[in-house]
Structure 1
Amino acid sequence: MRTLRVPLAVTALAAALTLTACAGKSGDDAKKDPECPIAVEVGPGNAATTAGDTGNIPVTLTNDNTKECTFEGFPGIELNDGKASWAVADEKGTTPQKVTLQKGETATFTITYVRGKAGGSLSAPVKTLKITVPGAGDARSYPWSYGDVTLKDTRTPDASVSPIQVAGD
């Protein structure tokens, strides 16, 4: 029978990698639900039909929780084409307010964008929209059916997102 000598450094590295690979959520963290589970509806909006036109896409958030939920701030919005992604800026000149929703109540925000020229060098061929709502858990992706989005430069879409507000305000 042969004896295989494994240096201590290799053994330590293997142990560290094994522990790191298992470092997901555990115990109470793994069972923890988002602070406020919500239903999200994207659109329908008034889509920009021609390059240079402005479109507005409303997003509705509905409290699906049995307790009240409070949101404050701007949602995180990311546009993706499968190869690249672009972060959407918060709407200038607006101040977020604290929004509290009881079960079944809704809040909204709006994504405003300028339609890009299909195939243009400063145009993003967006395929999906990723939304992160503060306090509502992980980001979720939705199909984008509103055409290309104009880019101000290679990293900045000509788009903005409004703060979360009570529906109807």
Structure 2
Amino acid sequence: MRTTPVAVTAALVAALTLTACSGESGDDTAKSSTESADSADSANDKSTACKADQFGIDFGPSSAAPAAGDTGTIPVTLTNQGASCTLDGIPDADVYAGDTSWAVSPDKAATATKLTMAKDQAVTFTITYVRGVAGDAKKAAAVDTVKFTLPGDSAPQSYKWPDAEVAVKSGDQLDMTVGPFLPAGD
């Protein structure tokens, strides 16, 4: 019977000694554990972001706008050829006409999505544009290149613009949008 109080007392002294040596109270230790878990979650989110180099990318074929004022679309299909990863958001896209560039606005009706991509899974997004008036620099831009980056990736993917000129909304904005990621058909 006498050993029980001695064992409890020894355990209590050891616990108090360790707490005093660490310089942390129980609250700080709990806080540090929470911060470590938050950091681990952030690291996991960053490490699972999809990178363009793990995808097979099919740009087009386009559904070209036949005349000025008509709408055309260019689908972009991404097939995951690597490990599981996450696409979270809408792709960033820019178009170029020589040295001039324009950011492509996200489709206002689009909702950013978060998709976990398994190996061999495919998604698509669409670039939609309005065809401009040929030869009128105030109403159309002779786009020659489109570049996009995936959310969480910094490597731009560059493609030759496959269609006619794009209508100008204002000096710094073309009449075009980029849509969200959607699961590709079977």
TM value normalised by structure 1: 0.75
8 Å contact kept, 2:90–2:113 = no
Q: Are residues 1:133 and 2:169 paired?
A: no
For structure 1, the residue ranges without an aligned partner over 5 or more in a row are 1-33
Q: Partners of 1:77 and 1:119 in 2: how far apart?
A: 24
Q: CA separation in 1, counterparts of 2:163 and 2:77?
A: 17
2:83 maps to 1:50: no
In the alignment, what sits opposite 1:118? 134
RMSD: 1.9
- Residues 110-168 of structure 1: CA deviation (Å, up to 9, x unaligned): 11100011221121100010011113440011000211000101110100111112213
Structure 1 residues 57 and 35 mapped into 2: Cα distance closer, same or farther (>3 Å)? closer
Q: 1:52 to 1:35 in 2, by over 3 A?
A: closer
1:55–1:35 distance in 2 versus 1, CA, 3 Å: closer
Letter aligned with residue 109 of structure 1: F
Q: CA separation in 1, counterparts of 2:111 and 2:124? A: 15
* Count of residue pairs brought into register by the alignment: 136
Q: Is the 8 A contact 1:122 1:154 kept in 2?
A: no
Other structure's SS at 1:88 match? strand
Contact residue 80 and residue 129 of structure 1 kept, 8 A: yes
CA contact (8 A) 1:38 1:136 kept: no
In the alignment, structure 1 residue 105 sits paired with structure 2 residue 109: no
Name the structure with the higher helix share: 2
SS at match of 2:93: strand
Whether the 8 Å contact between 1:129 and 1:144 is mirrored in structure 2 is yes
Q: CA separation in 1, counterparts of 2:75 and 2:50?
A: 23
Query: Gaps spanning 5+ residues in structure 2: where?
Result: 1-48
User: Could you tell me whether the CA contact under 8 Å between 1:74 and 1:164 is conserved in 2?
Assistant: yes
Partner of 1:146: 163
The percentage of counterpart residues that share the same residue type is 44
Contact kept, 8 Å, 2:90 with 2:181, in 1: the verdict is yes
